[in-house]
């Protein structure tokens, strides 16, 4: 707001100087005309800016809507098609499917371990080690599940905000933007994982930080 006032002051001053140079003497009528002209120019700029913003947000809303339809159209299982109404539900199905698959894999690993238990020797050790590796590999489901759930929340949030913004601009295009209240971080704001490859913090770095916080151990 302070910037706008400073800019307005500069514009008025500059207009008065130009007027003085051109006419030598400035009347009250001249000042009135100058303000009318400035106001018309300012309105034109604001309207153009708002129109551009509105168009961009409308395009974004249309894009999200189209993406939702495309993801919906990708559903191949006719039985579940009716249940999957949007992208979020579709992604949720992916999480459930991978969880189901992981459990099936681990069930099989359990059966193998039970079958070889007690045979002894190198064979048992080798088979047990291999099935433990299968278990470890199933970690993927937890990590991918968390990532997908974050995308689901992100999509829902963007869609909701764009929709609200679009509705607002459609009805009150010239209304001044409201000040967004300060966000107070909560415990849940700290939920930012899973880390992306090469972008997160490694176990070694976490250990160093943890040790420094503990006073070294």
Partner 1 sequence: MTVNKAMNIIVVDDYNTMRRIIRNLLKQLGFDNVDEAADGGEALAKMQEKAYQLVISDWNMEPMTGLELLKLVRADEKLKLTPFIMVTAESKPENVIAAKQAGVSNYIVKPFNAETLKTKMTSVIGEF
Rounded Cα gap, residues 117 and 133, in angstroms: 16
Long-range CB pairs of 108-116 (<8 Å, 24+ gap) are: 108/134, 109/134, 109/135
User: Which stretches of the chain bind partner 1, using CB under 8 A?
Assistant: 99, 102-103, 106, 132, 135-136, 138-143, 145-146, 187-188, 190-195, 200-203, 206, 209-210, 213-214, 217
* 38 in Cβ contact with 12 (< 8 Å): yes
Q: Which is nearer to partner 1, 171 or 203 (CB)?
A: 203
As measured in angstroms, the least distance from the Cβ of 150 to partner 1 is 9
Residue 199 DSSP one-character state:
T
Q: Measured from the CB of residue 184, what is the shortest distance to partner 1 in angstroms? A: 15
Residue 26 or 137 with smaller CB distance to partner 1: 137
How far, in Å, are 1, 51, 147 from residue 38 at the CA level?
18, 20, 52
State which residue, 75 or 146, has the beta carbon closest to partner 1.
146
To partner 1, the closest distance from the beta carbon of 157 in angstroms equals 16
Least distance between partner 1 and beta carbon 77 (Å): 22
Cβ proximity to partner 1, 8 vs 206, nearer residue:
206
Q: Is-contact 163 61, C-beta < 8 A?
A: yes
**Minimum separation from the CB atom of position 162 to partner 1 (A):** 25
Residue matched to tokens 């159209």: 73
Cβ proximity to partner 1: between 143 and 173 the closer is 143
Residue 194 preceded by cis peptide, ω within 30? yes
């Amino acid at each position: 707001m302070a910037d706008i006032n400073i800019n307005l002051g500069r514009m008025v001053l500059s207009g008065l100087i130009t007027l003085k140079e051109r006419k030598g003497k400035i009347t009250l009528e001249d000042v009135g005309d100058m303000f009318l002209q400035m106001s018309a120019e300012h309105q034109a700029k604001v309207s153009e800016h708002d129109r551009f913003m509105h168009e961009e947000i409308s395009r974004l809303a249309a894009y999200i809507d189209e993406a939702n339809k495309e993801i919906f159209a990708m559903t191949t299982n006719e039985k579940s098609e009716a249940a999957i109404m949007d992208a979020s539900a579709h992604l949720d199905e992916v999480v459930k499917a991978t969880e189901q698959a992981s459990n099936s894999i681990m069930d099989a690993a359990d059966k193998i371990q039970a079958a070889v238990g007690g045979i002894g020797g190198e064979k048992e050790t080798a088979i047990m080690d291999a099935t433990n590796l299968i278990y470890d590999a199933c970690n993927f489901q937890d990590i991918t599940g968390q990532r997908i759930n974050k995308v689901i929340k992100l999509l829902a949030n963007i869609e909701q905000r764009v929709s609200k913004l679009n509705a607002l601009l459609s009805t009150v295009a010239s209304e001044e933007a409201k000040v967004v209240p300060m966000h107070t971080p909560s415990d849940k704001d700290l939920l930012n994982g899973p880390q992306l490859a090469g972008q997160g913090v490694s176990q070694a770095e976490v250990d160093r930080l943890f040790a420094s916080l503990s006073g070294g151990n």
